[in-house]
Chain A
């Protein structure tokens, strides 16, 4: 079935460092979504990508939709302690309403 593979599983970085994480699949997707989940809260949508090659920024966050449509990456520049959380990529299964999620990248930021 369709699966999203996220890496790395976790990152422990120093405040101020840049962060890069990615999401890959053997299947082609038409949309890539990036969510952040903070401790004790639900996932919050950060960025949505709708076209192959698209590069979109949201403040210090930048995400790209891979040209093969099988991958996406998320970069965070100049990390701060409030960036702590789990970052999930997601997309729709077979162009249906069903969202599938990657296993998440857990980010910890050392002040």
Chain B
């Protein structure tokens, strides 16, 4: 299995631009999670999908953040407009039936 796939691996953008992060979960996993990792706050859960439905988005920091999961094999996390404080590593993770989570390699985002 290829594991969780994320793209792009690195993104550098200017403040105010739209950023879209992509994730392909492990085939057969029905739970998908988006996390953000920073030095200050560690790993934070942003949003959780189960069977493509958003179950908990209480970790999404602001309305500038949105996430979708149009089908079982694809999810996006969008930031519009981006700000420098959004700079972080964003991880996608998937799991079978909300059990052990498997993480992707992450997208390193730098907003200038």
Contact partners of A66 in chain B: CB under 8 A: none
Q: List 6 A-B contacts (CB under 8 A).
A: A33-B100, A42-B4, A42-B103, A97-B56, A97-B98, A99-B33
- A39-69: CB near B (< 8 Å → 1, else 0) gives 0111111001000000000000000000000
The total of interchain contacts (Cβ-Cβ below 8 angstroms) comes to 38
The CA-CA distance from A99 to B50 in the complex, in Å, is 15
Q: Are B56 and A98 in contact (CB under 8 A)?
A: yes
Contact call A45/B106, Cβ cutoff below 8 A: no
Contacts of A41 in B (CB 8 A): 105-106
Q: Contacts A99-B101, A103-B42 known; A42 to B48 CB distance under 8 Å?
A: no
User: What is the CA–CA distance of A99 and B48 in the complex, to the nearest angstrom?
Assistant: 11
Task: Give the A-binding residues of B (Cβ under 8 A).
Answer: 4, 31, 33, 42-43, 45, 48, 50, 55-56, 91, 93, 98, 100-106
Residue A101 at the chain B interface, CB threshold 8 Å: yes
Least CB distance from A109 to B in Å reads: 22
Contact, CB under 8 Å: B55 / A97: yes
Let me know if A73 is at the binding interface, CB within 8 A: no
Chain A contact residues, CB within 8 Å of chain B: 33, 35, 40-45, 48, 88, 97-99, 101, 103-104
A43 and B103: CB pair below 8 A?
A: yes
Contact of A97 among B43, B48, B102, B106 (CB under 8 A): B48
Are B45 and A88 within 8 A (Cβ)? no
User: Do the beta carbons of A42 and B91 come within 8 Å of each other?
Assistant: yes
| Chain B residues, CB < 8 A from A98 | 45, 48, 56
| A41-B106, A42-B104, A45-B102 known; A101 vs B43 contact (CB < 8 Å) | yes
Known interface pairs A103-B42, A104-B42. Does A42 touch B105 (Cβ–Cβ under 8 Å)?
A: yes
